[in-house]
Homo-oligomer: A and B are copies of this chain.
Amino acid sequence: MMRNDETALVVFSGGQDSTTCLFWAKKNFGKVTALSFVYGQKHVKEVALAEAIALKAGVEWECMDVSFVGNLGKNSLTDSSIRMDMEKPEGTCPNTFVPGRNLFFLSIAAVYARERGINHIVTGVSQTDFSGYPDCRDAFIKSLNVTLNLAMEEQFVLHTPLMWIDKCRTWAMADELGVLDIVRYDTMTCYNGVQGDGCGHCPACKLRNDGLHKYLACKKNNS
């Protein structure tokens, strides 16, 4: 992608994917703003981590309370009384799916961007490791892009640098951007709220750690 002097807004959770996207945006855009959400997630620690990473990256950061998103549909990420699915059940989404989460996050980001004259919105969703979440797929993002433009008569561009790459290649991207250690140690992806390499056994940790070990082995073999 050609470097663009305009501003990009990154939807930023402080996890591996959106942190990689934050540094990708820093490389590719003139200015970067990061937007985090509190939505009733059990591990609000991720918001503090997000703020610290944004500070380290030297980008503007803002956090919005959108708790209504977590309350709309039953799910195990915002409701402690539901036991978390460790694997995707056949024929349905895992109960870690917060219905409409990316729809609301990206729609709110678009209104926020519009108020500030920003057209470019970056999100870390990936179809490759989509884990059964329909709102991580490319068709959804493209459809939403059209919907947002029609809703507000704007020309938003949704950027998804991780859409077609797996976790191993996401680690490679972080390394190429010179931030492998920041992404490895400062972020949190774990469903059980453990920073860095995480608890190791939840679905998010498995995916993240498998990708990391694959990437590190690959790098070692090539050196």
Measuring CB to CB, which residues of chain A are less than 8 angstroms from any residue of chain B? Answer: 64-66, 68, 72-74, 93, 99-100, 102-104, 107-108, 110-112, 114-115, 134-135, 137, 139-140, 143-144, 146-148, 150-153
| Contact between B150 and A143, CB atoms less than 8 A apart | yes
| Contact between A110 and B100, CB atoms less than 8 A apart | yes
A-B residue pairs, 4 tightest by C-beta: A140-B150, A134-B153, A72-B111, A143-B147
Main secondary structure of the interface of A (DSSP, over half): helix
- B residues in contact with A68, CB < 8 Å: 64-66, 68, 108
- CA of A99 to CA of B103, assembled, Å: 15
- CA of A148 to CA of B144, assembled, Å: 9
- CA of A150 to CA of B136, assembled, Å: 10
Beyond A107-B107, A143-B143, whether A137 also contacts B150 by CB under 8 A is yes
**Chain B's nearest CB lies how many Å from the CB of A212?**
30
- B residues in contact with A104, CB < 8 Å: 104, 107
| Contact between A140 and B134, CB atoms less than 8 A apart | no
- B residues in contact with A146, CB < 8 Å: 143, 147
Instruction: Output the residue of A93, A108, A137, A147 with the most chain B CB within 10 A.
Output: A147
- B residues in contact with A73, CB < 8 Å: 111, 114-115
**Chain B's nearest CB lies how many Å from the CB of A156?**
12
Given contacts A66-B68, A104-B107, 4 further A-B contacts (CB under 8 A): A72-B108, A72-B111, A73-B111, A100-B108
| Contact between B152 and A100, CB atoms less than 8 A apart | yes
| Contact between A151 and B100, CB atoms less than 8 A apart | yes
| Contact between A151 and B102, CB atoms less than 8 A apart | yes
| Contact between A107 and B100, CB atoms less than 8 A apart | yes
Indicate which residue in B66, B115, B147, B152 contacts A147 across the interface (CB closer than 8 Å).
B147
- CA of A147 to CA of B140, assembled, Å: 6
| Contact between A115 and B151, CB atoms less than 8 A apart | no
